[in-house]
Structure 1
Amino acid sequence: MKTIILTLLFILAAPLVSAEYSRTYIESHPLQTVAVNGIDMAYRVVGEDPDRPKVVIIMGLGGSNVVWGDTLVKGLVEGGYELLMFDNRDVGGSTRFDDWGQPTIWLQLIKQKLGLPVNAPYTLSDMAADTVALMDRLGYQDAHIIGTSMGGMIAQVVAAEYPQHTRSLISIMSSTGARHLPWPTQRAEGNLRDLAEGDAAAERDAMMRARGFYPESMPRQLMAVFKSGDRSEDVASIQASTLVMHGVDDTLVPPPHGVHTAELIQGSEFVLLEEMGHNMPENVLPELISRMRGHMDKVEGKQAKAARADESVKVTQAPS
């Protein structure tokens, strides 16, 4: 049971934890705070330009906005996009839920397995609503929604529940939460157990905090994932143009999770990336960025063509 709990705690936080990404470029853009959806949300806008298409990126379990790293953020901005990045509720500069306390994870895990209600201070739908409320506040009519790991789950919820705000969806090393999907491998569980004991635990905690993660928030966000359960039906309703990417070496959220996501979303593209686990390695970032930009560029091209066609119809139908 202890191994399972540790695995679940780290399963959605693992991306980028051990990577030494620069965040100087990110932090050169001011962190601002605004009240939306009943909470305060901390955010940055990078590459701000009213004429640029908008992109919203959503980080995973316990991670603040700086976890994305300069390389990925620069890569998207250099592609001609305005980027909105923020701290999910309960991390970084956004409203924290420390007063709610910490869940008894093993008990909530049993409840989840039995199909009983899980205690959680908020849900993935709440976090998706935060995202959309922030977009509305900043005047984003719609945007390309990108999420990684738990952030990918939130992005899926945005695309399913707020299709009018979703220009396209990019889901990275994420999951639908379907019960039939495989658990982490024994090797991954063993690695996590080693990292959660003795000196390794203290080193892991310090490394996570330095990287921009908030370990004390992870159990509460994990409860949001538990409470949301299997989202397959909602994911299958997504109509936005979708790119699903997963690492071939992901032992925490194995590739079948990504495959299932892509299978449910009609017309989606699935990409399995070599040399990538449940992280975004520096050597894989160029391909990740290229595929993200290619997907969004394609959607932008289709949107522009549709707009031109619509304008042509209006001109043709105009009274003489």
Structure 2
Amino acid sequence: MAGMVKSARYLSILFLILSLLGCAPIPKLSKEQRRTIRSVLKTAPPEVVKGQTGYAVNDGNKIWYEQIPAKTNKKGTVLLIMGNGQDALAWPPDFISYFNDAGYEIIRFDHRGTGLSSYVKKWKKLDPYTLNDMADDAIAILDTLAIEKAHIVGASMGGMIAQLIAIEHPERSATLTSIMSSGHVMDDKLPPMSNEVLPKMISAVLNHGFFGNKKGQIKRQIVQKRILMGGATGEIDVKTLTEVSYYNLKKRDGYNLMAARHHFAAILLSGSRYDQLSNLKIPVLLVHGEKDPVMPIEHSKKLDSIIPGSTHLWIENMGHDLPDEAIPEITAKIISNLTRKED
């Protein structure tokens, strides 16, 4: 009986916390955006995955990947690594097209717990996986596809994983691009990760699709993208985002909201990479938005001061996302880095 009372008390506290977080103000969808969502849902989802797909296995985990060929003579391979709680389809289609058009094949993959990759249903508190383990997932994909060396591009948490690949597997890393990321998230000399975004993200979940239907979960994707934009301005390509989300929900395993919790734990366990990054000998590009509401740009600026020969792209009107308007500039800068000679 005492145990039941204790459990009920914990549940009451949990619901109170969730209720308070659910009160955080979130952006509203416009009538036009709602009409676009309804229109897309009236048709069959377009084919989003068009490349060669398969699984790599690392430490018992099956990691789903897609290999998208270059449209011209192949110049190299670009490995894309997404951020916390995100799967392979979170990369904007236009972002990928610029590389394919320039002669680079793309490999994107689902992190552990997302998309079609292995899902850890029971979190082992005494044996959580780390960013190093997730970096090994990426290397397992390269091994499976017999790719000796790739250009490593990572966003947010993916940038941290990309850094680890460059550090631990320099022979497999042609170049490194770290987007809106950090070399040490707990660096007390830098502004910390924002504590204002999480309540809004949770509020979006509670309002649009914790147990919701496809329409609600699609709305959540759009609202959360707007939250991550922070103070940046610009339009969201609602049609494309809806089509990709619809495909994910209809033809894949949808969205596992618990994955973000596991990934965040791995981030907090990661520690500093400053010393190792200061010894890199490959071309490195750092990209960051000046209006990033999650990871302050000072984190990338510190990396720029540490990594020898690094170049950077600071984008004034960019938050913690890849804005449609900035994709041409970002991809052009990355492609330029892919052709830089080693320092």
TM band (smaller chain): 0.7 to 0.9
Distance 1:73 1:287 in 2: 13
Contact 2:87-2:115 at 8 Å conserved across structures:
yes
Determine whether 1:121 maps to 2:128.
yes
Per-residue deviation, residues 114-164 of structure 1 (Å, max 9, x unmatched): xxxxx5521001111111121122111111000000000000000011111
2:207 maps to 199
Distance 2:326 2:257 in 1: 26
1:29 is displaced (CA, Å) by: 2.1
Q: 1:221 aligns with which of 263, 271, 278?
A: 263
Q: 1:40 to 1:255 in 2, by over 3 A?
A: same
1:72 maps to 95
Distance 1:222 1:148 in 2: 14
1:35 maps to 57
Per-residue deviation, residues 60-86 of structure 1 (Å, max 9, x unmatched): 111111110210011111111011111
Per-residue deviation, residues 260-307 of structure 1 (Å, max 9, x unmatched): 1222211101211121000111111111111111111x23xx47xx9x
| Aligned-partner SS, 1:171 | strand
Q: 1:164 aligns with which of 157, 163, 171?
A: 171
Determine whether 1:245 maps to 2:294.
no
Per-residue deviation, residues 170-201 of structure 1 (Å, max 9, x unmatched): 000001124222124576466446546x5267
Q: Which of 41-50 and 125-134 deviates more?
A: 41-50
1:230 maps to 272
1:283 maps to 325
1:58 is displaced (CA, Å) by: 0.4
Letter in 1 for 2:118: T
Q: Which of 182-191 and 250-259 deviates more?
A: 182-191
| Aligned-partner SS, 2:325 | coil
Determine whether 1:149 maps to 2:187.
no
Distance 1:99 1:193 in 2: 21
Contact 1:67-1:213 at 8 Å conserved across structures:
no
Distance 2:144 2:73 in 1: 15
1:116 maps to none
Please report the TM-score for the alignment, with normalisation by the length of structure 1. 0.74
Contact 1:37-1:133 at 8 Å conserved across structures:
no
Letter in 1 for 2:333: R
1:110 maps to none
Contact 2:193-2:295 at 8 Å conserved across structures:
yes
Per-residue deviation, residues 218-250 of structure 1 (Å, max 9, x unmatched): 111111111112222232232211000000110
Contact 1:160-1:238 at 8 Å conserved across structures:
yes
1:56 maps to 79
1:56 is displaced (CA, Å) by: 0.6
Unaligned segments of structure 2, at least 5 residues: 1-16, 22-32, 222-244, 249-253
Distance 2:66 2:195 in 1: 39
1:103-122 equivalence runs, <5 A: 119=126, 121-122=128-129
Per-residue deviation, residues 35-73 of structure 1 (Å, max 9, x unmatched): 344321111111158843111110111111111021001
Cα RMSD after superposing both structures? 3.0
Contact 1:24-1:70 at 8 Å conserved across structures:
no
Distance 2:139 2:73 in 1: 18
Letter in 2 for 1:151: G
1:271 maps to 313
Please report the TM-score for the alignment, with normalisation by the length of structure 2. 0.70
Per-residue deviation, residues 95-122 of structure 1 (Å, max 9, x unmatched): 1111337x6xxxxxxxxxxxxxxx5521
Q: 1:231 to 1:33 in 2, by over 3 A?
A: same
1:182 maps to 191
1:28 is displaced (CA, Å) by: 1.9
1:92 maps to 115
Distance 2:267 2:293 in 1: 19
